[in-house]
Amino acid sequence: MSGLISDILRNAQSLAYHGRAVEVAGHNLANQNDPTYSRQRLALKEALNIDSRFGTHPGGVTSFGREHARSYILDRQILHGQGEVAYAEAHRDVRDELQIALGEEIDRQSSTSSLDTTPDSDTVEGSLSKAIDEFFNAFQELSSSPTDAAQKQVLYQKAELLTTRFNLVDERIENVRSNLQDKLADEISKVEDLVEEIAELNERIQKLEYKKRGLAVDLRDERQAAIEELGGLISLEMIQLSDSVMGISAKTDDGQEVVLVDINGAAGGFVNEDGTLSFDPRKGSIAGLQDAEASIDKLKNENIDPLAAQLIAAVNLAYNPDGAAEGNFFNADTPNAAGIALDANLAPENIRVSQSEYAGGNDIAFGVAQLAQYEFSTTGGDTIDGTFIEFIANTAARVGQDLRTAEADLEMHTIAENRIIQDRQEMGSVNIDEEVTDLLRYQRAFQASSKVINTLDSMLELVVTGLIR
């Protein structure tokens, strides 16, 4: 009878093991489409001896938790790669928005210096280059018909359109900056939330696995997902502080490390009172946004504003060669893209065409029209190099080249990251065929153990009944 009881107890252990194995296989299948999930397996071990009133019996098999198909090395590599990808993606997005804000599609490195020979395909309808083109063409038309009041009205409209285009481009660029700053503030707030979440998950994992390993594998997946999300915001280093606690630190631009989560939980003081980070992250989307803001300043300070300033100065000089206090074409007090405007005293009917009293004089209108072909030079004291059309073309080409470079960088880092992600997926992803096979296998084993227990129970009942008789 002692042997029967021992067999029943051992098969009961096997029954419990197979039941848990079925549960794990079903859990794997339920999470097959979750990219943050890693395949789980029951950790099998020999059960301890069974003590009963009939003596000590050898144990069967049992589990001591769940094994996790996850590699610490691959997780670290992916974490590093995500910082690079997020940094490049932030650069790409800002440059893409700047190209849209500029509104130019001029691809040539240099344009013709003559408006008469500028192909229509080189200037885009509604663009700043088109507005400049039409403005000087209107002056050219006026020089041909200096007494035509209708042509003066057309010129005035084209001049208003030009100032509006400059204002609009500046507004769009500033909107890019505003969107960047809003996104930056949002992502910094996410940093705080994710650090707290990781510290909390460390604590929960430590509590669950205090006595038995493998009870918190789902929480480990959740923690790794949070760490990788944080790694997309700022470049991180993860350190295994204990079997249950993962420490993280931010890698700064100057090569230092700032501890964010340690053995005691979340560290504080890494976000200033004004909502900015107290350190400069080396990579990640936050570093990408911070660095990309320099491209906004460059486009404004080195391209759009100098272009507006040169246009205002050159046109005013040609239109008002005597320097009369109230004789300018553009308002000289605001020589930038945001402030460019027509002179307050300018009206269609009082647009000057010539300095002479001769009715057919056109020297002023002709002189302004000729500015379209004039080659400016910064070495000569100008604010731009080349003609107006050449300068805006080169600006558009540079912005486009910066975007293509950012796209190439993003593609390079994405390919490298995808390769590591693929390695991790091969290691830890759920194979449906394998899991279904395990599910059927453990179900059959569960059923077999149940039948063995029923048989042993019947035999035990016969033995007990015989003894009673």
Give me the mean pLDDT over the 320-335 stretch: 89
Contact call for residues 165 and 135 (beta carbons, < 8 A): no
**Residue 231 pLDDT greater than 70, yes or no:** yes
Q: What are phi and psi for residue 336, nearest 5 degrees?
A: -150, 170
pLDDT class for 271, splitting at 50, 70, 90? Answer: confident
- Give the chain's mean pLDDT: 83
Instruction: Answer yes or no: is pLDDT of 120 > 50.
Output: no
Predicted local distance difference test score (pLDDT) of residue 300:
94
SS3 assignment, position 274: coil
Q: In angstroms, rounded to a whole number, what is the distance separating the alpha carbons of residues 288 and 301?
A: 20
* Residue the block writes with tokens 């042997």: 3
**pLDDT for residue 40 is more than 80:** no
Q: What is the pLDDT of residues 330-384, one digit of tens each?
A: 999 999 999 999 999 999 999 999 988 776 789 999 999 999 999 999 999 999 9
**pLDDT band for position 119 (cuts 50, 70, 90):** very low
Instruction: Say whether pLDDT at 270 is over 80.
Output: yes
Q: What confidence score (pLDDT) does residue 117 get?
A: 42
Q: Is the pLDDT of residue 176 over 80?
A: yes
Strand order in the sheet with 246-251: 236-240, 246-251, 257-262, 265-266
Instruction: Determine the residue type at 385.
Output: D
Query: Is 0.85 surpassed by the pTM of this model?
Result: no
Q: Is the dihedral of CA 254, 242, 45, 220 positive or negative?
A: negative
Which alpha helices (DSSP H) does 58-214 contain, by range? 72-102, 128-144, 149-208
Residue-level pLDDT at 71: 75
Amino acid letter at 60? G
User: Domain boundaries in the chain?
Assistant: 1-69+431-469, 71-429
Distance CA 208, CA 201 (A): 10
pLDDT of residue 464: 61
Q: What pLDDT is recorded for position 116?
A: 43
- As a whole number, mean pLDDT of residues 137-153 equals 93
Structure tokens at 53: 């009133």
Report the percentage of the chain scoring pLDDT > 70.
75
Q: Which residue has the higher pLDDT, 50 or 202?
A: 202
